[in-house]
Structure 1
Amino acid sequence: MKITKIFMSIGVASALTMQFSACQQAQRENPLLQESTIAFGAPDFSKIQTSDYLPAFETAIQQTRDNIQKIVESEDSATFENTILAYEESGRLLDHVSRIFFALTEAEKTPEIGDIEKKVQPMLTELENEISFNKPLFERIRQVYDKQHDTLTGEDQKLLEEIYKDFVRNGALLPDDKMERMKAINLRISDLQQQWGDQLQEATNNAVVWVDKKEDLAGLGEAGIAQCQKDAESRGGKAPYAIVIVNTTQQAILANLDNRDLRKRVFEASIHRADGTGQSNTFPIASEIAKLRAEQAEIMGYPNYAAYSLEKTMAKTPENVYAFLKNLISQYSPKADAETKAIEDFARQTEGADFQLQPYDRFYYSAKMKKQLLNVSDDEVKPYFNVDSVLINGVFYAANRVYGLTFKERTDIPLYHPDMKAFEVIDKDGKTKALFYCDYFRRPTKRGGAWMDGFAKQSRQWNQLPIIFNVCNNAKAPEGQPSLLTWDEVTTMFHEFGHALHGILSDCQYNRLSGTSVARDFVEMPSQFNESFASIPEIFDHYARHCETGEPMPADLKERMLKSINFQTAYALGENLAATCLDLAWHMLPSKDIPTAEKAAEFETQALRQIGLFNPQIPPRYSTSYFNHVFGGGYAAGYYSYLWTEVLAVNIADVFAKRGALDPATGQDMRDKILSRGNTGDLMQMFTDFTGMAQPDASSLLKARGL
């Protein structure tokens, strides 16, 4: 999942109704500064123009400054109401504008939106610096913390704790000289991450592999070839066909390409998209970001950025993370070696005894091996995974069975792109619970990957229902043809909707604490758990229907397909472990030891060798030069959380399996004890309250992966 690139540190929230200052009243014609007339207070994209964003940011930033100044200048003694709640309220308009704008920078980033982003990001970072290092403001917050912390209860106490600790972690207690250095670092990192996002998106788009001859695409089938033709047309038509590079190292299309030279071109286009081999080189940005983060940690008194970052997580320390990872690596490595040998031996049956398996061959021969051993292939099952059926009859159906939710499409809600859809979410008591958008198809203006976020978070304080969206990068079929998914894309839809449920089912008083506002190594748990519903027979049978006939997947094919889910899964675990260890390697170093851009590739290789994960056959899911989670997003020293939370998810799935996989009472228990609670309590205690387990049981992870 991607953390929203908005001004989260001031703890702001959108609301159905907003009170505007006189300054805002003068700009009522700007729809971003008016109360929306759309249901739920949803963004009115039929009225919002690109030119509205910059003036809206200017107004919202000034309003935030004015609100902070009022808190600071108050002559009344600091209290929870006049300081903490006032601070929570101070940036509501800015949050409203930011959530709408940054949704577009991720999913519909036109050149005009990109130009505005370059102007807005420094403005937001400057404001964040002003607030984080505002000594009179922090003094009032500290007074409330010292006087009222022990007398407050529940969410009031938690809100105070989060705000106070955030200020401390951001450097509010630093001496003046170090404060100034932290401000400069914050501004520079903001600028670098802006450059990273622009450069990586451009590099990935430029990494398209152009194909002149249809026969070179042998193995794809007519639907796959038609998709390559459509992708070529949408990207300028430099050749009749184009293979688009997705965000990860490996490319799913390699499983079907018979042409080995083309497989090599595709793989190398992926791994070299941004390492300087071609038009782009992001290593200088990654190196400088890592160095600045390390310096931040040192200023705050920590040995490295990982130690600083992990303090707020369930894992707590890098040592705990490494202990977790090393246990997995020791069990995984022999299985990975055996898997590689089996694939190479299989390939040699047809290619000869001297054939040397390369990373761009792995998916191809693994798919053929799966076809021979299990008699199943992607081409055989994809007609049963129509994106619309997966959504309505799978994702939504599971949410209905387990949580009692129903979904009504709202064609009256304005959208930012015609490929989107909007649904009203209705709870089992008949009351409206949320608004949910989905945007599932790739396009050049959308960054790679899949994510969840929201135009508004749930908040009882402001009577705000959640307005949540999911974004994916599935291929959209040519006009008149159904858009079909791979199994991995099916589970991705379930995954991202697990995040959406965390936002939709939130029932918290304060915006800052609601929904997915939890530690990284907890936030991926609801999403990973929700993937389990994709293969539950009753759910699977409901959505896995032929795109033309509507018939369910035949029983024999279904059995073969479900058996194939855990076929040769060492690769998936290995690429994740390698990426996780790369992330930690960059963020475990002191600033003086951060490698330069010229040494970055060598450092990556050494880091993987040192921990026993250097394996050309199983490269990292993301290499440094395109590791957007870490250098462009909020997962620095936190990519391990996908594996960490998978353990939590497997433990929770075991509870559901024991009680009944689709048992509504268990679903309600999950709502009450985890999904509705946001960050209002201790996260480990939430896990314990639901599972009855004092600690997560990591032993079930490899079993769940078929290893």
Structure 2
Amino acid sequence: MTDASLNPLLTPSTLPYALPPYGDIRPEHYLPAFEQAFADHRAEISAITRVRSMPTFENTMEALERSGELLGSVARTFYTVSSADATDAIQEIEETLAPLMSAHNDAIQLDGELYWRVKTLHDHLDTTDLEPEQRYLVERHYREMSQAGAGLDDAAKARLTELNQRLSTLTTTFEKNLLADTNDLAVVFSDPAELDGLTEGELSAAAQAAADRGLDGKYVVTLTLFTGHPYLSTLTDRESRRRIMDASRQRGSRGGAYDNREVLLEIVRLRAERARLLGYSSHAAYVTSDETAGSPEAVHDLLRRLAAPAARNAAREQQALQAIIDAGDAPFALEAHDWAYYTERVRAAEYDLDRTALRPWFEAERVLRDGVFHAATELYGVTFTERHDLAAYHPDARVFEVHNADGSALGLFILDLYTRDSKRGGAWMNSIVSQSRLRGTAPVVVNNLNVPKPAPGKPTMLTLDEVTTLFHEFGHALHGLFATVTYPHFAGTAVFRDFVEFPSQVNEMWIYWPEVLANYAKHVDTGEPLPAEVLEKLQASEVFNQGFATSEYLAASWLDQAWHSLSADQAATDIDVAAFEASALADIGLDNPVVPTRYSSTYFAHVFSGGYSAGYYSYIWSEVLDADTVEWFRDNGGLERANGQRFRDRLLGVGGSKDPLQAYREFRGRDAEIEPLLKRRGLAD
């Protein structure tokens, strides 16, 4: 494909909200479009640096914000597909593209003449009359270019570019290996008796997954991104639970073509070397220096403060589970694959609550429309209309148009609910089009989950964890939809990494909110609402199993910090991945083999192929703000339009155009307090 006029990626979309015409885009269109976009962006930057007059906001910052529009459009279009529908052809393109994209980004971020112009504006900020968003834009570009290495000499920049390109290739390899090994290790069962405990819909999904692989008459349980699996809480066959857990924990570490151990070790070495080149003691110091945390020490202090009480709570929970087993006919020692199953037994005994029996009340369509959308409408006045005339990148991805309370158009929301072999694990939000007054664009945002898809005609029943994930990811979507900024640099969720999870966590509060729950939690067959006493039991049991949940999360966060706190010299030594993990977990007291880390290193996609390196702590860091915010909503009447408008105006709506902690103070009236989080997780004294 050489004729640009025939490449749909190089022609402005005529669809509403500039939604890409995915039906017209073929894999061979992407690389030529990227090549053109790279060239255009370089020319735009060159036009800025060739200006002979002294830097002004208009001829430097505004011009910089206008540049790269084509590249941003092509990249968001492609990376949406590469994460959610990564065919072999798409994966090959991504591997080719990774070093090219890295080299291009470095060419912009390390451009000495551009840096001089930005630095000049920054040095004279106090003598300029800029609006707050304009001033913050200068500060952020200067900070980000400085941290990227724009002030280094030419030799250091050359080495930095080599490191960045190699890292981009390695992180792409890590993700490709993980996807392949996750698919390869999907567990095949021959007898439905082995899957006793699954619902009819779950068994149907397993049969459909097998049929999709040409294994008619069998059942396939695909693996989730994290160590555990939702089915472990209900499968009565202990050997089936063991097989699923063992398969999950083997990913990326069993030798062969998909082994990620050497890949991650090289990533760690190169990140540490890059940090030293940039003047930092470690990659963690480099990352946290431009987050709200400020330093690895602040992160470590929080994690250690929480780890000891979490481990104690997990040990008490373990004793309770062992007591249930010991009371049975054939006692045995509790193992990791037993935890979820016996947790539900204890929950049933102590709270008279069987969470696994609640799935008939969580039919996916009703949860979406009468729960997720309903809460947003009540809080913010926004409404959602499905656009069957608009096609996304995959037949399973559904498009909804979003309008404000006054009827004005806001943007598009795309939901891609189901798992498939071409989709990476986990759940996430991303933008296809970002909002900007400067460019006149409105947001198009996507939520991806990995819910097993039942056979045609069968309803999709969600677990309570999947309901939580849907509300959580929609919190990110709202952030992407509501952020209203002038400059694209601040669009949507472009905030500090350890703040970005805050809005999504806040949105989880509405799951159990009585008016919301009563609207969506209705039995799929009878329409009967979830009994009030069940809600009371759910709320009473919220702290139950928090020792396990907090421990497995903190263990993963500590692993991330341990790897990325290594100096360049330490990272250059011969490291055994399994031994390093064991030592790190022992160091923080989270080395209980019955409570495995949520992610082991070889399948820790967040930090070795995603954007959370040295930043997985962000979830608990943001949860401090989240828990404090939930207290505010409760104290101020809860699900009310005035409350939603305040939250939208002062937090979600500012995107990245303001220091996030300043925005939080303007919303809350003070800094966040940690006590609500400690109480929520059962960690208070």
Give the Cα separation in 2 of the matches to 1:278 and 1:166: 39
- Cα distance per residue 1:291-334 (max 9 Å; x no partner): 11111111111111111110111110111111111211232222
Instruction: Map 1:128-143; keep pairs closer than 5 Å.
Output: 128-143=105-120
Give the Cα separation in 2 of the matches to 1:376 and 1:407: 34
Give the Cα separation in 2 of the matches to 1:595 and 1:145: 37
Aligned to 2:265: 287
The verdict on how the C-alpha distance between 1:125 and 1:383 changes in structure 2, with shifts beyond 3 A counting, is same
TM-score, with normalisation over the residues of structure 1? 0.94
Give the Cα separation in 1 of the matches to 2:280 and 2:674: 29
Question: Per-residue deviation at 1:147?
Answer: 3.4
Match of 1:255 among 233, 246, 269: 233
Question: Per-residue deviation at 1:571?
Answer: 1.0
Match of 1:601 among 569, 578, 582: 578
- Classify the secondary structure of the residue corresponding to 1:469: strand
Give the Cα separation in 2 of the matches to 1:625 and 1:596: 19
The verdict on how the C-alpha distance between 1:488 and 1:259 changes in structure 2, with shifts beyond 3 A counting, is same
Give the Cα separation in 2 of the matches to 1:539 and 1:566: 21
Aligned to 2:673: 697
The answer to whether the aligner puts 1:208 opposite 2:162 as a matched pair is: no
Structure 1 window deviating more from structure 2 (122-131 vs 587-596): it is: 587-596
Structure 1 window deviating more from structure 2 (644-653 vs 70-79): it is: 70-79
Aligned to 1:91: 68
Question: Per-residue deviation at 1:116?
Answer: 1.2
Aligned to 2:220: 242
Aligned to 2:360: 383
RMSD after superposition: 1.7
Question: Per-residue deviation at 1:278?
Answer: 6.8
Give the Cα separation in 2 of the matches to 1:83 and 1:557: 59
Give the counterpart letter for 1:299 in structure 2: L
Give the counterpart letter for 2:502 in structure 1: M
Give the Cα separation in 2 of the matches to 1:226 and 1:278: 32
Match of 2:13 among 16, 31, 36: 36
Aligned to 1:19: none
Give the counterpart letter for 2:51 in structure 1: S
Give the Cα separation in 1 of the matches to 2:296 and 2:132: 30
Match of 2:88 among 111, 119, 136: 111
Aligned to 1:296: 274
Aligned to 2:312: 334
Match of 2:446 among 469, 475, 481: 469
The answer to whether the aligner puts 1:436 opposite 2:413 as a matched pair is: yes
Give the counterpart letter for 2:162 in structure 1: A
- Contact 2:313 / 2:548 at 8 angstroms: preserved in 1? no
Match of 1:645 among 622, 627, 637: 622
- Classify the secondary structure of the residue corresponding to 1:520: coil
- Cα distance per residue 1:242-264 (max 9 Å; x no partner): 11111001111111222212211
- Cα distance per residue 1:628-683 (max 9 Å; x no partner): 00000111111111001111001011100000111211111111110100122221
- Contact 1:84 / 1:160 at 8 angstroms: preserved in 2? yes
The answer to whether the aligner puts 1:586 opposite 2:563 as a matched pair is: yes
Give the Cα separation in 2 of the matches to 1:483 and 1:322: 41
Question: Per-residue deviation at 1:219?
Answer: 2.1
Question: Per-residue deviation at 1:90?
Answer: 1.6
Instruction: Map 1:255-654; keep pairs closer than 5 Å.
Output: 255-276=233-254, 280-352=258-330, 355-594=332-571, 599-654=576-631
Give the Cα separation in 1 of the matches to 2:317 and 2:124: 61
Question: Per-residue deviation at 1:600?
Answer: 1.0
- Classify the secondary structure of the residue corresponding to 1:141: helix
- Classify the secondary structure of the residue corresponding to 1:242: strand
- Contact 1:293 / 1:305 at 8 angstroms: preserved in 2? yes
Give the Cα separation in 1 of the matches to 2:394 and 2:533: 40
Give the counterpart letter for 1:546 in structure 2: H
The verdict on how the C-alpha distance between 1:568 and 1:186 changes in structure 2, with shifts beyond 3 A counting, is same
Question: Per-residue deviation at 1:118?
Answer: 1.6
- Classify the secondary structure of the residue corresponding to 1:423: strand
Give the Cα separation in 1 of the matches to 2:542 and 2:455: 28
- Classify the secondary structure of the residue corresponding to 1:676: helix
Give the counterpart letter for 2:183 in structure 1: N
Give the counterpart letter for 2:191 in structure 1: K
Give the counterpart letter for 2:317 in structure 1: E
Give the Cα separation in 1 of the matches to 2:438 and 2:5: 25
Aligned to 1:3: none
Question: Per-residue deviation at 1:560?
Answer: 3.3
Give the Cα separation in 1 of the matches to 2:50 and 2:278: 29
Question: Per-residue deviation at 1:548?
Answer: 2.2
Question: Per-residue deviation at 1:148?
Answer: 4.5
Give the Cα separation in 2 of the matches to 1:203 and 1:468: 29
Give the Cα separation in 2 of the matches to 1:609 and 1:150: 54
- Cα distance per residue 1:576-610 (max 9 Å; x no partner): 00000000000111012127676111000000101
- Contact 1:595 / 1:603 at 8 angstroms: preserved in 2? no
- The number of residue pairs the alignment matches comes to 682
- Classify the secondary structure of the residue corresponding to 1:74: coil
Q: Structure 2: 5+ residue runs without aligned partners?
A: none
Give the counterpart letter for 2:156 in structure 1: K
Q: Structure 1: 5+ residue runs without aligned partners?
A: 1-22
Give the Cα separation in 2 of the matches to 1:478 and 1:150: 66
Give the Cα separation in 2 of the matches to 1:605 and 1:660: 47
TM-score, with normalisation over the residues of structure 2? 0.97
- Contact 1:83 / 1:140 at 8 angstroms: preserved in 2? yes
- Contact 1:503 / 1:515 at 8 angstroms: preserved in 2? yes
Match of 1:181 among 141, 155, 159: 159
Identity %: 38
Give the Cα separation in 1 of the matches to 2:36 and 2:193: 57
Give the Cα separation in 2 of the matches to 1:238 and 1:477: 15
- Cα distance per residue 1:374-420 (max 9 Å; x no partner): 33324421011011111100000000111111111111112111111
- Contact 1:453 / 1:469 at 8 angstroms: preserved in 2? yes
Aligned to 1:663: 640
Question: Per-residue deviation at 1:519?
Answer: 0.6
The verdict on how the C-alpha distance between 1:91 and 1:356 changes in structure 2, with shifts beyond 3 A counting, is same
Give the Cα separation in 2 of the matches to 1:302 and 1:137: 24
The verdict on how the C-alpha distance between 1:30 and 1:277 changes in structure 2, with shifts beyond 3 A counting, is closer
Give the Cα separation in 1 of the matches to 2:463 and 2:414: 22
Question: Per-residue deviation at 1:134?
Answer: 1.9
Structure 1 window deviating more from structure 2 (155-164 vs 533-542): it is: 155-164
- Cα distance per residue 1:152-187 (max 9 Å; x no partner): 231111111111111111111112221111111001
Give the counterpart letter for 1:492 in structure 2: T
The answer to whether the aligner puts 1:223 opposite 2:201 as a matched pair is: yes
Aligned to 1:17: none
Structure 1 window deviating more from structure 2 (154-163 vs 489-498): it is: 154-163
Aligned to 1:14: none
Question: Per-residue deviation at 1:221?
Answer: 3.8
